[in-house]
Structure 1
């Protein structure tokens, strides 16, 4: 018998000292609010360009927001009528609690205001929110089904998503926005039947990553369901997968790879 005691709480040397065991860097910390605002706006513009890159455009629909670091009742969002593929930092607008554009030039989409205002108001932890009318999320919503934990990526949303089955027309009414935010509750994803998808996160990086992941997971589930009987994970397996692939810090870091890509391919989005 080996006399050397094994300490199960000490991670092997090849694992980083993080919740996931991955060598993840930390989020940047800013001394000046101006620097943090620029950082958030740059990431928001990058996420919007990525929406365009991934084919998530649907006319004037779709909007992403990030809370202002100085004024918590204000948020930055893409202006109405500007294509994702053309968005720059200079094009972003800042909207206050009354729906007025207080910085930047352009009009605010009424849906963007009523949805994002209430999410930011009811969810202090939600620094950012992403909403789009994407193909596979809409198809899944039309079936009235949420993601099942059929793989590691979809398990990131296990018990962290909710279906919004109501539909009273386009979301332009202030009270409708309140109901949507209330239905979202403390979840990271809201699938809206006959409408689209909303994801939130502690940064725009994270919120965008959850959106991209949800849309791809919906695609996998629809393809698998069409091919045969889907066999989801057990609750125990789903929890293990969610603890890894649903880790917020991992979600933030995953966006950094896309950031590097979009900066290299479309650096003009950084124009201020």
Structure 2
């Protein structure tokens, strides 16, 4: 069986449009999953031509109404260089430091989702209770110094430093940040982490949860938890949203 793969583009303009459209779809996916909480939350996508700039949702526009044309382009000094809208300062601080520290990262996602936010108060890593949980085995970290809104450079740098080479970081009493080589990957890791946190809460409420053995968890992570697998896992949701809400691509 031949699986679909991310497109290869003939021009930077085509690639930029695709990233913006996928970012808008990812934001609508977050709305569909109920990850919207007031004005909180943001997903970014590095610009393919200018690596020190990223596209992000404007502050105060609902995830479920996002279109590609609504996104704003921000540089690492916090200046909006393209688009109309207000920049979320916390989004700029966190994402600019993550993008600067991780050249391999194209996209980063953060939202105040219910189970991810609840899990951030637990002070411990997700266990490999399911295949989705296995994907984060030994590949997510806890950031224990977080104190709320990230408005200072040093706080944001500390988040990026703790994230290191991992795919996710849990911000104490705040929520989760996931990253990926594509917008689709970063969005899927966020969805998968939320699912894993939900499952662990359910399992532990019923009794003593039994995690997978470490060697089994690693096999699942290294097989099903690759960047390509995450990208592919997001495609059915991408297709559904584009079919039902074609204006997202505008």
Fold agreement, TM-score > 0.5: yes
How far apart are 1:27 and its partner, in Å? 1.6
Q: How does 1:100-179 map to 2 (within 5 A)?
A: 100-179=79-158
- Runs (4+) of structure 1 exceeding 2 A deviation are none
Of 109-118 and 168-177, deviating more is: 168-177
How far apart are 1:72 and its partner, in Å? 0.3
| Cross-structure match for 1:8 | none
Conserved in 2, the CA contact under 8 Å of 1:129 and 1:200? yes
Cα shift readout 1:7-33 (whole Å, capped 9, x = no counterpart): xxxxxxxxx5xxxxxx32222101110
Alignment equivalent of 2:199, drawn from 200, 220, 230: 220
- How far apart in 1 are the matches of 2:202 and 2:147? 30
| Cross-structure match for 1:253 | 232
Does residue 206 (structure 1) correspond to residue 185 (structure 2)? The answer is: yes
Structure 1 unaligned segments of length 5 or more: list them: 1-15, 17-22
- How far apart in 2 are the matches of 1:137 and 1:168? 16
Alignment equivalent of 1:84, drawn from 63, 79, 101: 63
SS in structure 1 of the partner of residue 120 of structure 2:
helix
Does residue 229 (structure 1) correspond to residue 196 (structure 2)? The answer is: no
| Cross-structure match for 2:29 | 50
Structure 2 unaligned segments of length 5 or more: list them: none
SS in structure 2 of the partner of residue 169 of structure 1:
coil
Cα shift readout 1:162-214 (whole Å, capped 9, x = no counterpart): 01111333111122111111111110001111101100000001000000000
- How far apart in 2 are the matches of 1:65 and 1:169? 20
TM-score (norm 1): 0.90
- How far apart in 2 are the matches of 1:75 and 1:81? 18
SS in structure 2 of the partner of residue 162 of structure 1:
strand
TM-score (norm 2): 0.98
Cα shift readout 1:142-180 (whole Å, capped 9, x = no counterpart): 111221011111100111000111133311112211111
Conserved in 1, the CA contact under 8 Å of 2:94 and 2:160? yes
How far apart are 1:98 and its partner, in Å? 0.9
Conserved in 2, the CA contact under 8 Å of 1:24 and 1:250? no
